[in-house]
Each structure stands twice: as C-alpha cells, then as structure tokens.
Structure 1
Amino acid sequence: MSVTQADIDSAATTLSTVIRRTPMIASRVLSERIGCEVWLKCENLQRTGSFKPRGAYNRISRLSDEERARGVVAASAGNHAQGVAWSASSLGIASRVYMPRGAALPKIAATKAYGAEVILEGSTVDEALVSARAFADETGAVLIHPFDHPHIVAGQATVGLEILEQMPDVDAIVVPLGGGGLLAGIAAAVKARRPDVTVVGVQAAQAAAWPQSLADGHPVAAASMNTMADGIAVARPGDVPFAHISELVDSVVTVSEESLSTALLLMLERAKLIVEPAGAAAVAAVTAGAVDLSGNVCVVVSGGNIDPLLLSHVTTHGLTAAGRFLTVTATVSDRPGGLIALLELLRDLGASVVDVVHSRVADDLYLDEVQVTVSVETRGPEHQRELRRSLSDAGFLRD
C-alpha cells in the first residue's frame, strides 16, 4: 500500500514525455498579503486542466496486455474523468466513466471528447463509484480509482518533484485536499528529499472528512458534504493516501465557501488565471490566514475546469464576500419620486446600481409604502458600511 521513492522516480520517467511541466508563477498580491514570498504551481495549466492525468496515466500505462484488452472504468465529477479518458485514449485503451447526474456539462463534454464512454449515474461521485465497481466486477474492466492506489499517488507525486526543482528554496507547500492522492504524493516526494519543508492540506469546511479521520487514526466518512468545490468533495479519505498523510503532512486546515469564492475571484482578477473552486482551496487558506506561514511558500493551484455558468455564480458570490457587491431591502414612499430619492442617494454615495426589484407585498409595509430590493456594486466593506449608515439615516432601512 505504501508508495516508495522508487515508485515516484519510475512515475517521473513514465510521465516525462507525456505530461506538461507546469509553470511556477510568482504572486505579488499573495506575497504582500501574508508577508512571504508566494509562488503558484499552476496545475490548472496541465493537460485536461488539472493534475489528474499524472496519476491516471501512470496507473493505466502499467496495466498488462490482458488488462488493457478489458478496458478501464472510472468514476468522477470531472477532472479524474478527463484524466482517465485522455490517458486511456493516448494508450489505445477503451474507457468508460461514470459521472454524477449533476456533473457540469462542459466536463461531461470534455470527457467524451477525450474518448471515453460516459454514463451518468447517481447524485454524487461516491454513488457513481458504486456503479463503476459493479461494471468492473461484471466485465473485468480495470477500475482506475481517483486517489486510492499507489500508482495514482506516485503519479501525483511528480508535482512535488517539480516544485523542488523549480523552487529549491521552498519552505512550505500548501495543497488542496479531497481524497488525498495529490497531497499524499507531494508529501511523499518532498519529505524524502527535504524533511524540513512544511506541507499543509486544505479542505472545504463543508466537505471535510480529513480532520476527524486524522483525529481518529483511520479514514472516517464525512457526515455531510455541501460545497461548491466538487473536485475535493470526497466523503471518505483513501486508505493509501491516509497512510502517507497521517505520517508526513504537518497539518490539515479547512476554508469556508466565502473564502473559496474570494480566492477564485482573486486568481481571476490579479493572477489572470481561471481556477475552479477546488483548485483555489490552497489560495483560500493563504488569503484567509488559515495557516501560519513563513519564508518561501508554494501554493498548488490544482485545477481550472469550471463551468462558465458556475464561474458567473461564484464570481458574484466572491464579489459579495469581498465587499464588492451589496444587496439591501429598502422601504420607500409609494408616491412619485419615492424610488428616485433612493437611487439618487445611492448615486451620491458612489454605488453603481446593478438590479432593482419593486414590490408592494410585504408584511410590515404601510399602505403608502413599497419595498425595493436593490443590488449595487461597492468599493469594499467600509463603503458598504457607509451605504448602510446613510440609508438608515435617510429612513430607507428599518431595524
């Protein structure tokens, strides 16, 4: 079950001609925020848009001729699906991927385009994995697990090798954490060569199985999962990753949905990188101050496959969390000029109106009043506080 340094070196050789060496980009905005030198390891620029092909290709390339003839099967919400589809097609092997019925349409389309047969099954990745296991049992197809296999972990470990080569003076590495394959691989590769490097895993607080699992000393399934970061929404940590993470990783922290959306917005605005919520988890931990860091820090950006519709929703969520978007419900006079007075006040305060909803139906309205819900663009939290004070002083907001 353990991943050896020989396994990692072998994976690096296998992947050297097929996997991109993703760039390491300095982030001035993150460096200024936390007082350290921060660099981004951009696995969102990897083939298929995430780190997943590293493990998938390493695993599939080691199948016997007999196993290759039976084909492979996997379950995924999107990134592992694409990694398996691309890897199998590159090696001339048939693949089937089970995806949750709610998987993002662009990820489904991309998986098909890479050559896999896609079956929509269940409402979660765990339910899709049950179907994938059943198919493997019935047909003999080889199940390519997204994280719980030594070859998968060894493949993901090559990210760690690249970090050490690109940033030899690294003091800390912060990594998104779902099932654990990426974090376990990076920790195994880095700690063997630089045991002094701090390695931190980051989970979404609303899908966090690892803190309890580490406390109990064995994998424990999360009681519930409700996060925008579907790429790291894994109910139960893998046994293979757990063995390495429990021994090698210095700490695991969690981040809120607001921190995830704010981090995604920050990457879009300041780093000019399109990142999915799961891929932004490590950035979220740094910006939210969830981990104490010093020296030279590498933040792994693990993926960039995001549905444009979700990107729109998350951007709005991030703008709100960052104090750049405000929605208030005001009470105005139901007489000519009532709405104008509200809008003129917002104009004078420098708020740009995005949307207005006008309603005469509310429990606490008098006969000559209407309720107006207005959404405005703001300059930040202080500007929002100024707006609320002024609206309250003018009688538009009720306690």
Structure 2
Amino acid sequence: MSTAPAPAATERLTIADVRAAAARIAGAVVETPMLHSQTLSRIAGCEIWLKFENLQFTAAYKERGALNALLLLTDEQRRRGVIAASAGNHSQGLSYHGTRLGVPVTIVMPRTTPTVKIMQTESVGGQIELFGESFDEASAHARLLEAERGLTFVHPFDDPDVAAGQGTVALEMLAAVPDLDCLVVPIGGGGLISGMATAARALKPDIGLIGVQAKLFPSMYAEIAGRDLACGGDTIAEGIAVKAPGRFTREIVAALVDEILLVEEAALEHAVALLLQIEKTVVEGAGAAGLAAVLSNPERFAGRRVGLVLCGGNIDTRLLANVLLRDLVRSGRMARLRIALQDRPGALFAVMREFAACNVNIIEIHHQRIFTRLPAKGLFTDIECEARDGAQIAALVEVLRAKGYSVESFDLD
C-alpha cells in the first residue's frame, strides 16, 4: 500500500496562514514602527526603511511566532504546558506570552548559558532547567522531557505555526511601504525569513528577498549552495549563530529566497554602532545583520528601496560598550599609540605637550619598564587617545616622529 508524499513546505505555510496568524496575535504584540532613515540612506546609497522589532516587549520579533503557536494549542495542551530549548529570544517570547495566557512554560538551557539570559527568561515567567554543555544536548533533553511529561514542544524556528507568526513582520512592512524593492532578512534557523518570504512573495511576486548570515555561521547558505563550510566561532550575532537550519525552513528558503549574503564580524559591529549613533536604537548583532549586508554590498542595493528588520535588541551592555569603542578605533577617532621614551624626568610631559598642541585628548596612559626589549634606561608608554578623526591622529604621529620619537599604532584588523 503506497503512502501519499508529504506536502511541500510551501503548501504547509501559505499567505493565508500568515494572515490568520496576524489576526490571531493582533493586539497582543506591538505593531512596531516602520521608519525611513535619511542618514543611513545617504550612507548606503539606497533608500533604507527600518522595521523596529527591537521595540517588542521582550525586544525581539520571536514573540510573534511563539504567541501564534500558543494560541493554536488545544485546551489539553495548554493545561499540560509547553517546552522549548533556547537560550535566546525564543525563550523570552514563549515564556512571556505563555505566562500571560496561563500556559506553563519550561525552557531547557545549556549549563553554559549566561546568568543574565536565565534571569531575563525567569523574569517573564519561564521555568528554567539547565542541562548539558551545548544547545544540542539541551534540545535532546527537552525532547525527552516532552515525552516524559506530556508537554508540547515549540520549536524556535522549524515549525510552520511559528514561521507563520514571524511572517506577520512582512505583512506590516509592505502595508506601511508597498513599493519596497527588496527585503533583507537575517537568517539563523530560518523561521523569520520563511514566514516573511511566504507573505512577501504572495503579496508582491517580484520583490527581492535577500537573506543574511554571519560568515562564521553560514549554515543555511551552505545547505542551499550544497557546500561544506565550517560553522562556528565567537560571533556578535548570537541570535543567528545556528549550526543546523531547519528542514522545513530550508525548503522555503530554497524555493522563495533569491540570495543569501554572508557578513564579516567587523561589518556587524559597525552596523550595531551606526544604528545606535544615528537612529538612537539598540540592536543585537543579529538585528544589525541586514544593515551590515547592505553596507558591505553597495552595488547590490544601489538606488533601491530596501526594507530591513531590526529583529532584536537583546545585547549584553558590556559587549555593546566594546562594540562602540572598537568602532571608534576603526573609524580613526580613537587610537592606541606606543611611544619609546628615555627614563628621565620630564620625558612623558614632553610627549603630552605634543598631544595638547595637536588637540588630541589623552584617555589613558600605561608605562612599561620591565617587559620591554628597550635598554634598561628606556621604557615605552602606551597612550590611548581620541580625536576628531583619523587625520588628526595621523598628524600627531607625524609630529612625534619628526621630533625623533619611535611611534607604533595598534590596529584591530
């Protein structure tokens, strides 16, 4: 007896599903602003429209899919509760709306999860269980608890109901700006772009659909391109640092998405910094991936009307501070200069006078007499400084070298 083939992914997720999700979650999630950025448009050479999903209550779009999945549960499933494996935005979105609806939510996280993420999820009502050293181990344990306790597993991305909820982002973007030429969407497991591509392609068949992944985690790109690429490393875009994309979502991406671009870490950092400096909005690395892709591929987007999703704003404050300072270094506004000096009175003072004469502000000074190859009567001093731009610091270095100082500068790249 033959069995009928399983329906294609594009049949399991349609524009009707996304529209139904929009009606279902209406009023319970924020219909976030869709705003034009004049300054970013000028910098990028195209018309940039930003969808501020970092303004959701839990600061990420994940609420949409989590809520849609919760609202589709049976009464018995609601009574028993749901479970998920996540150390990120899915855990907070599911916990927040589960608690609001009276559905018990269990989240399994690896033991390596930062305390701040555990506290954020607990603060919105999630019951945390720590297991394993990796996400894969935590996910396998969640599946075991699902069976043992009769819970319903809510996948963070590889689920048509979750993807339908995420697709409501595209409905809102195209309702606000119908003449967009393309959407640029971050890809981790593929839930967001699957839902958005389904909606956008149905509403505007000729719209460009571009996915973005961190170069360190090119999992979906590799799957679609049929390439074997290394996947791992310390990326600022933790929200899209997924080693294995969903089976369902990769079918949608293969069918509907035009291209996947890979972005370097420096580009992600620069995009995070630009969005804070120009738009005064905090985004995590994944949330800045779209802008990073546009700025890294100016010829690809020149003159086009581009919609970007700022998909999340949950970035550690210390990491954000590091990103902003590193961006100042890359832009030339901050530098670290190592200057060789003679160990005698007034040597440091003489150098500081040159900084003052060039109007370069000194932030920090560090002397080193012991760990150096200089003669015993020599030393070097590291001076961190800030200026108007790189040209001003370059002029200072030129003045110092003209006066006989050995000067070395430190670069990030």
Alignment-mate amino acid for residue 244 of structure 2:
R
TM-score w.r.t. the length of structure 2 is 0.90
Shift of 1:102: 4.3
Shift of 1:359: 0.9
Structure 2: distance between partners of 1:387 and 1:127:
54
Note the 1:1-399 alignment, pairs <5 A: 1=9, 2-216=12-226, 222-289=230-297, 292-293=300-301, 294-393=303-402, 394-397=404-407
Contact 1:278–1:303 (CA under 8 A) maintained in structure 2: yes
Structure 1: distance between partners of 2:134 and 2:393:
38
Which deviates the most, 328-337 or 290-299?
Answer: 290-299
SS in structure 1 opposite 2:407? coil
SS in structure 1 opposite 2:294? helix
Shift of 1:176: 1.5
Structure 1: distance between partners of 2:187 and 2:126:
26
Alignment-mate amino acid for residue 198 of structure 2:
A
Alignment-mate amino acid for residue 329 of structure 1:
R
Contact 2:45–2:298 (CA under 8 A) maintained in structure 1: no
Which deviates the most, 81-90 or 123-132?
Answer: 123-132
Shift of 1:388: 3.8
SS in structure 2 opposite 1:319? helix
**Per the alignment, do residues 244 and 351 of structure 1 end up closer, same or farther by CA in structure 2, a change over 3 Å counting?**
same
Which deviates the most, 162-171 or 278-287?
Answer: 278-287
**Per the alignment, do residues 382 and 207 of structure 1 end up closer, same or farther by CA in structure 2, a change over 3 Å counting?**
farther
Shift of 1:374: 1.6
Alignment-mate amino acid for residue 173 of structure 2:
I
In structure 2, list runs of 5 or more residues that go unmatched.
Answer: 1-8
**Per the alignment, do residues 76 and 390 of structure 1 end up closer, same or farther by CA in structure 2, a change over 3 Å counting?**
farther
Q: Which residue of 1 aligns with 2:4?
A: none
Deviations 1:26-50 (A, max 9, x none): 1112110122221110000012110
**Per the alignment, do residues 289 and 325 of structure 1 end up closer, same or farther by CA in structure 2, a change over 3 Å counting?**
farther
Structure 2: distance between partners of 1:109 and 1:7:
34
Deviations 1:330-380 (A, max 9, x none): 211111111122222222223221111111123421122112122112333
Structure 1: distance between partners of 2:99 and 2:177:
33
Contact 1:77–1:230 (CA under 8 A) maintained in structure 2: no
Structure 2: distance between partners of 1:134 and 1:331:
62
Structure 2: distance between partners of 1:263 and 1:335:
45
Deviations 1:197-246 (A, max 9, x none): 111111111222122111118xx785323202111111111111111111
Structure 1: distance between partners of 2:272 and 2:34:
18
Structure 2: distance between partners of 1:291 and 1:119:
47
Contact 1:104–1:307 (CA under 8 A) maintained in structure 2: no
Percentage identity across aligned positions?
38
Aligned positions, number: 397
Contact 2:22–2:165 (CA under 8 A) maintained in structure 1: yes
Contact 2:218–2:229 (CA under 8 A) maintained in structure 1: no
In structure 1, list runs of 5 or more residues that go unmatched.
Answer: none
Which deviates the most, 386-395 or 274-283?
Answer: 386-395
Shift of 1:383: 3.5
